Structure 1
Amino acid sequence: MDELSRCGVGDVVISPGARSAPLAQAAYAHPRLRHHVRFDERSAGFLALGLTKGHGRPVPVICTSGTAAANLHPAVLEAAHSRLPLVILTADRPPELRGTGANQSTDQIKLYGHAVMYFAEVGPPELREGNNAYWRTLVCRALRAARAGPAHLNIALRDPLDFDCPTGPPSALAGRADGRPWTRLGDEAGQQQPVELDTARRGLVVAGDGIADPHSVVAFAEAANWPLLAEPYSNARYGPNAISTYQDLLSHPPTRARLMPESVLVVGRTGLSHELLGLYGSAVTHTVVDAHPQWADPTRTADLLLCALPRARKAADPDWLEAWKDAEKTARTALHDHLDQAALSEPRAVRDVLRLIPHDSLCLIGASMPIRDADRTMAPRRGPRIIANRGLSGIDGAVSTAIGAALAHQDGRAFAILGDLSLLHDANGLMIGPNQPRPDLTIIVINNDGGGIFSLVDHTCEAVGFEALFGTPHNVCIADLASAVNWRYSSITSMEDLPAFLAEPGPLIIEIRTERAANAAFHHQLRRYIHTALERTQFRTACDGPSAPKAEETSTQGTA
């Protein structure tokens, strides 16, 4: 624990257990470590993910042996695919008890397989020459590897499991002088120097998850005079080049044909929009900016891989960007018109929350429908900071991730937008002990009593047994759940009430009830309405040249 602290770790998540008791007590007693206790290891893992998303530093998770360690696997997988610095410290039985039928003993060697960047089997602790350096070096190696994803130290402990907390560490276990790490971890070696990219052609910048410096992506798009298509959690959806309605623009065949790029530059991990993914292979050149050894190229169409954002060689024809802006103006006007005509809908709820929360706030958006509605309706805006579990895009662990991120976010308030199944899947995460830090977090739950996204998926929406297999109604009373876990609760029936509820401090659950079938119909109506507006509006394109007619006033009449 001392070496973790010396290396910059400030938070430790602990799940109770007898075998891991010495580790837990050492973390609890350390003066520079803030501890968070969760009895459910699955929630503990995602709480740690939220903490590291919030402040960017590694977060260790301590658990006991057996199924406890297995319950961390979902969070490990999410950390692996999101490249987050999660450090798993699993207590284990000593080698002589493995394979003997001993209680709570299973094979934990490389339990998480290739999902971890580093694994070490830490032998049973023995105070002999060289072991102090060995243990401290293992911590440094694990933290160094965790820059690219999770690391796992499996720590075998023998009885007796007593813990002794001396006033100061024995000299045999002392760290470096002046509180320095045992091994100082320098910057990455061999970083690729920025290269110049030919940006005179018609191009697009696409921004996804995991971007360390969103502003540099925005600046590149402006220097290249390229439209910027940024997914919400890229935190790059702002500036004069930001295009937010690309889902509807690219799903409209005539508009897609007019706005087809010659070059696409992708920064971060994208994958939310099928319309956007389908664009990559159609471009003449597809450049990926990703320094990770397992670079993100899900369409397998990249012809150039860069480790750093390039420099724009020459700005593209301004008519190219104006063509996208004209289309964006038409689509966004139609989008807002149709949302405002609806008293209450899921897309409007997401849009209004993201429009109203303070610019210095943090907001986790859950998987499935909320993040897709955010991608479609969120207007360009610098701040708030958007996060999401997009490594594997599961609905599990969303509550715990949001709580962890809220606890780490020190610069403003925190919010989460979740579906009802996401909330219920991680209901254990709502349980916070009386002596544990409580977050200033408001969770907005869009409750359509089941899996609303399946009503919009072609191969499931009319499937045999839809309601039982995909709709999965639960009939849970969210108000009763909130009361049981000591969270304040409010319910909204009119969007006019939303600003007042969002201004209230957390922990708070705000429920917005909708109906699945009506939501599916509204999504189809919204797309038709926007497409009708595009068809009625003539906008300038790069192919038409500067003499092309200006965009007409957007019609507010369309298919309802």
Structure 2
Amino acid sequence: MSKNLSDKSIVQVLVQQCVKLGLKEVVVSPGSRNAPLIISFNAVPEIKCYTIVDERSAGFFALGMAQQLKRPVAVLCTSGTAALNYAPAVAEAYYQEVPLMVLTADRPQEWVGQADGQTINQSSAFANYIRMGIDLPVKINHPDDQWYAERSITEAFQKTNYPIAGPVHINIPLREPLYGRTSAMAMQKEPFKQLIPDAVLSENQLTDLAKVWNKSESVMILTGVLSPDAALNKLINQLAENTNTIVLTETTSNLKGERLIDCIDRQVFSINEYETALFKPSLLITFGGQIVSKQIKKVLRDNPPKHHWHISLNDNVIDTFQNLSLSIKMKPLDFMQQMVDKIENKKGRFQEKWKQRCNKNRKAHEAYLEEIKWSDLKALAHIFSHIPNGTDVHLANSTPVRYAQLFQDDIQVNTYANRGTSGIDGSLSTAVGASQTSDNSTLLITGDLSFFYDSNGLWNKYLKPNFKVVVMNNGGGGIFRFIPGPAETPELEEFFEAKHTQSAEHLAKAFGLNYLSCSNVEELASSYQKMMDNNEQPVLLEVFTPGDKNGKILRNYFKNFQSGS
């Protein structure tokens, strides 16, 4: 160790064990009770510390980093409500299956409930949304205390990635004084390792699965949120060569190929009740995270396939379409690698029908975009079709991630979104965190409410020169003018849409971003190009569109496919 660590024995054990386990990044929010941890993590050269004042933003910043790195990233805060501000990011990491270590400094247990400052009951604060939670002892009083601490920290670290990724919580009670330092103490032993055997289907299992697959007249593979994976992408495209098989993907699936069916809602809206049987699979195979499209969920629930297999290591039995016949506890890549050579190239017109409809709808899509006036749909058509290669795109909830599904065939870059819980609360902070791990430009496309809600995501010193934000400002929550229910209520503007007249200009300038704006097609083309050409300073482009017209234009977009089917 190049510097002295905290003189708190439990802190020394935690920090040194984290180093041995391979932790490399800690996102710190300033405080006093966590001072021993700040001092110690900052002292070890193996770990890089980031400073984010707002704990809610810090949690999502760390999530963005871990999302890209595929390894645990830690967040560290002081005691009290600071810890509770991590909750949205912890829940998102849990449902998105992202490895996160939540480290919360605490008062000793005897002071909880005794009207002491900055003291709440932090134990089990995230119980519903973590893979493991532990409370460390206040200090090492006996060799067994150190043995317990080292073992528990190792177990928690391992559980951030196995059997599935997710967050863990380590609560660290500390007594004053807090700022003492001393040399590093000796550790008892090296952390234990985990031997994780390969998941291998037996010959009997392979035979039985292949028999069902090969006997199925029509096979649909439907994918949700996935990280980019070249090996999986290759296998899925190989399976899509079978003419009785279709692969439906979403923008956030990060799967690409000429035979894959994208823009799901565009296709599903064009299928009328008399045609449903022609487009319904006999075998449905699903994997990946949450699926954005509500329409495909409705169609498959109303018209269940004969078989539905879901592939996931998740503890839960996931039955999204209410017709699950087989839950396969494997990684999708492992499953596909073992199955691909067992699948017969069965002839059929299932894929041809879907492809014909897909091509027809593409033409209707282009024709409609030509005729519509300035709106969210018109603006995003330009934005999504002009994303430079080598850009990482982040999509905020609620409308941007949905609009992106309509332009999936134009988006040929890696795409990310917080679809674990689908909240608007951390999209900006997640994108900023993710940008730290990549040399690519990072482009966040966000709505106005999502941007303002998480504007503290810009309150840090880590905005890279190639970080870019598009804010679609339609004066409120545009999704509520489209989804059934709110659009027809008198409370729409005040309580659902949250209508406003705010601009992002002063926030952008306050945080050092170059600010651009536009209010029509010509201004957008010019401003968007300027933003993409500028890699010397982070840029925010605010796109003003008519909130009262966007909902109608989008509804008519889908009616366009229904009438043309």
Q: One fold, TM greater than 0.5?
A: yes
Are the structure 2 counterparts of residues 189 and 322 from structure 1 closer, same or farther at C-alpha, using a change threshold of 3 Å? closer
Q: Which amino acid aligns with 2:394?
A: L
Match of 2:350 in 1: 320
What is the CA distance between 1:62 and its match in structure 2?
Answer: 0.3
- Within the candidate set 215, 220, 225, 2:233 is matched to 215
**Contact 1:483–1:489 at 8 Å: present in 2 too?**
yes
Q: C-alpha separation between the residues in 1 aligned to 2:53 and 2:307?
A: 50
1:161 is matched with: 178
Change (3 A) 1:424 1:406: same
> What are the Cα deviations for residues 211-250 of structure 1, in whole angstroms up to 9, with x where unaligned?
57441552353254422111111101x2122112321322
Offset of 1:371 from its aligned partner?
0.6
Maintained 8 Å contact 2:444/2:470: yes
- Note if 1:267 corresponds to 2:296: no
Amino acid at match of 1:459: G
- Please name the residue that 2:257 is paired with: 239
The 5 A counterparts of 1:181-260 are 182-187=191-196, 192=201, 195=206, 196-197=209-210, 198-199=213-214, 200-210=216-226, 213=229, 214-215=232-233, 218-219=236-237, 221-225=239-243, 226-236=245-255, 238-252=256-270, 253=272, 254-260=274-280
Please say which of residues 157-166 and 138-147 is displaced more in the overlay: 157-166
Pick one of 458, 461, 468 that aligns with 1:442: 468
Unpaired stretches in structure 1, ≥5 consecutive residues = 177-181, 535-560
SS in structure 2 of the partner of residue 227 of structure 1 = strand
- Letter of the 2:534 counterpart: E
8 Å CA contact 2:220, 2:246 repeated in 1: yes
Which residue of 1 is the match for residue 538 of structure 2?
A: 507
Q: For residues 258-306 of structure 1, give each alpha carbon's deviation from its aligned partner in whole angstroms, at most 9, with x where no partner exists.
A: 3222221111123311221123332121111111111432233111111
Q: Which of 294, 306, 316 is the aligned partner of 1:294?
A: 316
- What is residue 150 of structure 2 aligned with on the other side? 136
User: 1:78–1:391: 8 Å Cα contact kept in structure 2?
Assistant: yes
Structure 2: which amino acid aligns with 1:486?
G
Equivalent residue for 1:465, pick from 483, 491, 502:
491
Q: Which residue of 2 aligns with 1:14?
A: 28
Aligned-pair CA distance for 1:190:
5.2
- 1:84-163 aligned at under 5 Å gives the runs 84-126=98-140, 128-147=142-161, 148=164, 149-163=166-180
**1:503/1:463 CA distance change after superposition, 3 Å:** same
Q: Is the 8 A contact 1:117 1:145 kept in 2?
A: yes
Aligned to 2:38: 24
In structure 2, relative to structure 1, the CA distance for the partners of 1:125 and 1:257 (3 Å cut) is: same
C-alpha distance 287-224 of structure 1, shift in aligned 2 (>3 A): farther
Match runs of 1:30-69 below 5 Å = 30-69=44-83
The residue correspondences of 1:157-556 to structure 2 (distance < 5 A) are 157-164=174-181, 166=183, 169-170=184-185, 172-173=186-187, 176=190, 182-187=191-196, 192=201, 195=206, 196-197=209-210, 198-199=213-214, 200-210=216-226, 213=229, 214-215=232-233, 218-219=236-237, 221-225=239-243, 226-236=245-255, 238-252=256-270, 253=272, 254-281=274-301, 282=303, 283-308=305-330, 309-310=335-336, 311-312=339-340, 313-342=343-372, 344-379=374-409, 383-410=412-439, 412-433=440-461, 436=462, 438=464, 440-492=466-518, 493-494=520-521, 495-497=524-526, 498-505=528-535, 506-534=537-565
Give secondary structure in 2 for the equivalent of 1:324: helix
Question: Are the structure 2 counterparts of residues 190 and 265 from structure 1 closer, same or farther at C-alpha, using a change threshold of 3 Å?
Answer: closer
Give the Cα–Cα distance (whole angstroms) in 1 for the partners of residues 251 and 459 of structure 2.
29
TM-superposed deviation, 1:380: 6.3
Q: Root-mean-square deviation (CA), in Å?
A: 2.2
CA contact (8 A) 1:347 1:377 kept: no
Residues 251, 405 of structure 1: CA spacing in aligned structure 2 closer, same or farther, 3 A cutoff? same
1:78 aligns with 2:92: yes
Distance in 1, Cα, partners of 2:306 & 2:257? 26
Letter in 1 for 2:150: R
Per-residue CA distance 1:317-371 (angstroms, 9 max, x = gap): 2422111111100101211222233454323433433332233321110111111
Q: Comparing 249-258 with 26-35, which one deviates more in the overlay?
A: 249-258
Partner amino acid for 2:443?
Answer: F
What 5-or-longer segments of structure 2 have no aligned partner?
1-14
For residues 435-456 of structure 1, the C-alpha deviation after alignment (integer angstroms, 9 at most, x for no partner) is x564631111111111100001
Q: If the length of structure 2 is used for normalisation, what is the TM-score?
A: 0.87
Q: Are the structure 2 counterparts of residues 481 and 173 from structure 1 closer, same or farther at C-alpha, using a change threshold of 3 Å?
A: same
For residues 563 and 525 of structure 2, what CA distance do their matches in structure 1 show? 28
In the TM superposition, residue 138 of structure 1 has moved relative to its aligned partner by 2.3
CA distance in structure 2 between the aligned counterparts of 1:3 and 1:508, rounded to whole angstroms: 40
Check whether the contact 2:250–2:263 (CA below 8 A) recurs between aligned residues: no
Distance in 1, Cα, partners of 2:372 & 2:469: 23
Secondary structure at the aligned position of 1:379 is classed as helix
Contact 1:413 1:440 (C-alpha < 8 Å) held by counterparts: yes
CA contact (8 A) 1:12 1:35 kept: yes
SS at match of 1:139: helix
Q: What is the number of residues matched between the two proteins? A: 521
- What TM-score results when the alignment is normalised by the length of structure 1? 0.88
Q: 1:187 to 1:356 in 2, by over 3 A?
A: farther
Deviations 1:74-118 (A, max 9, x none): 111111111111111010101221221111111111111221110
Distance 2:288 2:377 in 1: 25
Q: For the structure 1 residues 277 and 29, does the alpha-carbon distance in structure 2 shift closer, same or farther, using more than 3 Å as the test?
A: same
Q: Distance in 1 between the 2:197 and 2:322 partners?
A: 27
For structure 1, which segment, 293-302 or 32-41, has the greater mean C-alpha deviation from structure 2 after superposition?
Answer: 293-302
Structure 1: distance between partners of 2:476 and 2:74: 34
The percentage of aligned residue pairs carrying the same residue is 26
Provide the C-alpha distance between the structure 1 equivalents of 2:375 and 2:119, rounded to a whole number of angstroms: 50
